[in-house]
Amino acid sequence: MNDIQPFSIAVEDADLDDLRDRLARTRWSDESPADGRERGIRAAELRELADAWRSDYDWRAHEERLNRIPQFVTEIDGQRVHFLHARCDREDAPALLLTHGFPSSNVEFARLVDLLTDPSNGPAFHVVAPSLPGYGFSTPLSGAGWSMGRIADAWIELMRRLGYRRYGVHGGDIGAGVSGMVASRDPEHVVGIHVVTDPMTAASAATFIPGMADSLDASDPIDQLILERMAAFRNDASGYLAIQNTRPQTIGYGLTDSPTFLLAWIVEKLQEWTDVDLDPELILTLVSVAWFGRAGASAAHTLYDQAHSSEWGGPVTVPQSFTVFGADETVRRVMRSPEDARWVEFGNGQHFPAMELPEVLAEDVQAFFGPLR
């Protein structure tokens, strides 16, 4: 089935009423006995966001804004895939495939799509931004086995259906892994790969991706810092991953039934993995899409699938670019790259640069892919 159908977000009024009712009936826990966020998002912070979500946040306005971006759905390998597909005015512009990570969706790229499709803003592209299977409106999940390799094959098929013979790929977090696999599996069509990361993401990835930490030497100060960050991730910050990698169905009941739980689950990571304050309206839009898409449980299942997969990518032969946000000297030690790879470092921003610093990211993407046209 090669059918591609136009899609518009149209949440039922009854679903909006249900969301507000559930938020109003939240049974709140006591505040954490700790002063900071080391035990999770603080109750006062979460209450403020939940109250805004219930009373002040205008979903219809954001729904309308999102629907200004052309959206479509198709079925690939039995899975419903929702994607943004915004074409620029220049017919001969190159195509660019954007892939997000956890705990996000293609909503993350809304501002970036505007910037990258506008010829007055620099080199412009036809942008394709799918939500990963089980995320956003790429739901429900069709079944087990949606590891990064299978997603990469689906993305290659999506670009074929759209008629793009040459395209670039960009991603961070899971999206970086998927993009790398797309580039390694489809080098005759991929012109280059642009990856974003940050020091903590690189260190945490080194804890579970085979081979990344093999050459680290504890006697070297930089390597020691990486090892300390890896230990900190394992000991204090990996609980979300451990439970989703092992019992996604169990955690999924809460993520699907309680909007307050879903809000806490996502916002904790937005707080922990950014150093630029995000607009609360953007945060609530991101969480709303996960709520209305019933994506809490299904996103957890795809993390389980990757944790139980032996696929971590193959050799990439196309031009590569790595952009580090919140950069320090550690990332190059764990992210091995060819000598001719492009490296760019920015002092701020972290895990979500498309939401934290969209203008900076857009310029960097244009700088890399512009000469590859």
Average pLDDT, 10 consecutive residues per value, the chain (373 residues): 90 98 95 83 94 98 98 98 96 95 97 96 95 98 96 98 97 96 97 97 90 89 94 94 96 98 97 94 98 97 93 89 95 88 96 98 97 82
pLDDT in tens, 287-335: 999 999 999 999 999 999 999 998 877 899 999 999 999 999 999 998 8
State the pLDDT at residue 313.
77
State the pLDDT at residue 372.
83
State the pLDDT at residue 135.
98
State the pLDDT at residue 100.
98
Residue 105 sits in a domain whose CATH number is 3.40.50.1820
Instruction: Find the domain containing 28 and state its range.
Output: 4-372
Total domains, the chain: 1
State the pLDDT at residue 36.
78
State the pLDDT at residue 177.
95
Residue 239 CA from chain centroid, whole number:
19
The answer to pTM > 0.85 is: yes
State the pLDDT at residue 209.
85
State the pLDDT at residue 215.
87
